Amino acid sequence: MSQSTQSNVALVTGAAQGLGFHIASRLCAAGFRVVLTDANGEAAKSAALSLDPEGKSAIACELNIAKKSDFENALKFALAEFGALHVLVNNAAVTKATPVMDISPEEFNEVVNINLGGVFVGCQVMGKHMAEQGYGRIINMSSLAGQNGGTSTGAHYAASKGGILTVTKVFAKELATKGVTVNAIAPGPIDSPMVTALVPEERLPTLLGAIPVGQLGDADFIGDMVVQFARPEAYFTTGTTWDVNGGLFMR
C-alpha cells in the first residue's frame, strides 16, 4: 500500500494537553491529519481548534482508553471524517505517586488496567484495522519509569509502563507481516504539566542535578520522534524502544 505523509491520518490519545498535545501538533506540522482524542471531549475540541480552526487537519473525538468501545467508536469517527486511519499514538495514561507500601490492590489494578490495558486494546482495535488495510504505524508511549522502576512516580505507574514495552513487542511480532510497525518511546522527565504536578518546585533542582545532561526533556522533540516512527519510511523499524532520558538510563 503506497503511502505519503500528506495523505496519512493519525490518532493520538490523551491529546488535549501536555505531551499528547505536543505530539499532535508536531504530526500536524509534518503534514498528517490528526484526530485528537481525550477522556475530556471538550478539552480535545479546544486543543484541535487551536491547531486548526477550520478542522481540515485537526479534529477531536472523546475517547476513554479504559473502554474498548471508545476505541471502536474513535476508529469509526476517523474513517467517517478523514476516510482513513494510518497511525495510532497510544499516549494517554493516569499517574499516581502513592508510596508503594500504601497502594491498595484496587488502586494498583485501576492504574495498570487503564495504562497497560488501554495500550493493549488500542493496539488490538486499531492494529486489526491497519492489518486489514495492509499498512499502519503504532507508537506506544512508555516511560523511563518502566525501565528503572520509577523515582517520582508510583509503582503501579512504573509497572504499567514496563508492561507497555512488552506489549509493543507482542504486537510488533503479530503485525510485522501485515505492513504494520509497532514501536515505543520511553521518555525521562519532560518539561510538561505531568512532571510539574509530580515534582514540587523546591525539588526541581534536585531532579535536575540527578539528570546527567542537567535539564528536562523537550516535548516537541518527543513529538518529532513520533513523526519519525509514523513515516512510511519507518517500515524497517519495529518492536523497538527509543530512550529519551538525558542519560538517566543507558543500555
pLDDT digits (tens, 9 = 90+) for 113-149: 999 999 999 999 999 999 999 999 999 999 999 999 9
Q: Tell me, what's the pLDDT at 2? A: 47
Q: Tell me, what's the pLDDT at 84? A: 97
* Catalytic annotation, pick one of 77, 157, 171, 229: 157
In degrees, rounded to 5, the angle at the alpha carbon of residue 215 between the alpha carbons of residues 211 and 217 is 100
pLDDT digits (tens, 9 = 90+) for 205-222: 888 899 999 999 999 999
**What mean pLDDT, rounded, does the chain reach?**
94
Q: Tell me, what's the pLDDT at 4? A: 56
Residue whose grid cell is 518529532: 224
Q: Tell me, what's the pLDDT at 5? A: 58
Q: Tell me, what's the pLDDT at 174? A: 98
Class of domain 5-244: alpha beta
Task: Answer whether residue 158 shows pLDDT above 80.
Answer: yes
Q: State the average pLDDT over residues 44-58.
A: 97
pLDDT digits (tens, 9 = 90+) for 6-33: 579 999 999 999 999 999 999 999 999 9
Q: Does residue 157 have an active-site annotation?
A: yes
Residue whose grid cell is 512510511: 232
Task: Answer whether residue 3 shows pLDDT above 70.
Answer: no
Task: Answer whether residue 42 shows pLDDT above 60.
Answer: yes
